[in-house]
Amino acid sequence: MDIERTGRGPLVYRQNVWTRLTHWIWAVALFLLLLSGLQIFNAHPALYIGEQSGFAFDNAVLVIGAEPHEAGPLEPRGEPPPPAVGTVTLFGQRFEATGLLGWSGGEARAFPSWATIPSYQDLATGRVVHLFFAWVLVATLLLWLLASTLNGHLREVIPGWRDLRALSGDIADHARLRLHYRRRYSVLQKLSYFGVLFLLLPGMVLTGLCMSPSFNAAAPWLLDVFGGRQTARTLHFVEMVLLVLFVVVHILMALLAGPLNELRSIVTGWYRLSPGEDPDAR
């Protein structure tokens, strides 16, 4: 009766404490891994395919750098042009990116100071921060896997055949912003969470290990699996980009679905369903 009178759906306990805890640890770890990883990338702002790189090879797929600015007229506001131009070369195609990539803050930097930890160029510190939070990420992933297996949450993020049959309808609902507040994850949520938890995050860990000389000595076969150190480094970067895109979409969908309800769910575990939804449905 209360649901019909108020037009509000029931509250259900949707996120257990282990899911909420690991979610926030991941959020902090991935944020610091991103900024420290960009610091490391700045030390050699290029990506390659293969086992080796250098002047004798033509296997670069991405290069971020700066080139001297050609002499020319003043800028429209009468200001002199910058002494250098930031450039991005992707698969041989060159783009200018002054102020964001290649040249920013009056210095040559692949990524600007506000996007790296520390803000100044310091490869050693960047590696220490990156390695520490990489192990935090691994430990949290193992904790989540163990807890989710024991409490049954693991089954909720693995899509089944019934979910896949509903994929087209779920895509259509999301395209029209017809968002449903149910106890079960939608098939698009399951596919995205499955891809992150079982593909992207393990892939980040394995390609990261490929860049460790000590691990290379202990398990040289891993380099062969990923096609060499340089290919592994490139894959590591691509996986980072995909994770950033996932986070952006994840936050956007939370805002569209109702930020207070979504935030309450991941902080307290309680989630309000749409009116008429069965709170006992699984």
- Condensed to tens digits (0 to 9), the pLDDT of residues 48-98 reads 998 766 655 678 999 999 888 765 554 555 555 567 889 999 998 999 988
Which alpha helices (DSSP H) does 44-85 contain, by range?
Answer: none
- Is pTM beyond 0.75? Reply is yes
Residues of the chain scoring pLDDT < 70: 1-7, 52-57, 70-82, 276-282
Q: Which two tokens stand for residue 122?
A: 């310091």
Residue 5 has a pLDDT of 35
Residue 99 has a pLDDT of 86
Distance CA 263, CA 23 (A): 12
Residue 1 has a pLDDT of 26
Residue 2 has a pLDDT of 31
DSSP 55-122: TT---EEEEEEEEEPPP-PPPTTSPPPPSEEEEEEETTEEEE-TTTSEEETTEEESS-GGGSSSSS--
**Could you state, in order of their start, the residue ranges of all structural domains in the chain?**
2-43+116-272, 46-110
Residue 7 has a pLDDT of 52
Q: Which two tokens stand for residue 10?
A: 């029931």
Q: In CATH, what is the architecture of 2-43+116-272?
A: Up-down Bundle (1.20)
Cβ(166)–Cβ(174) below 8 Å: no
Find all residues with CB under 8 Å of 57, minimum gap 6, and list them.
48, 50
Secondary-structure percent of the chain, ordered helix, strand, coil, rounded to 5: 55, 10, 35
Residue 74 has a pLDDT of 47
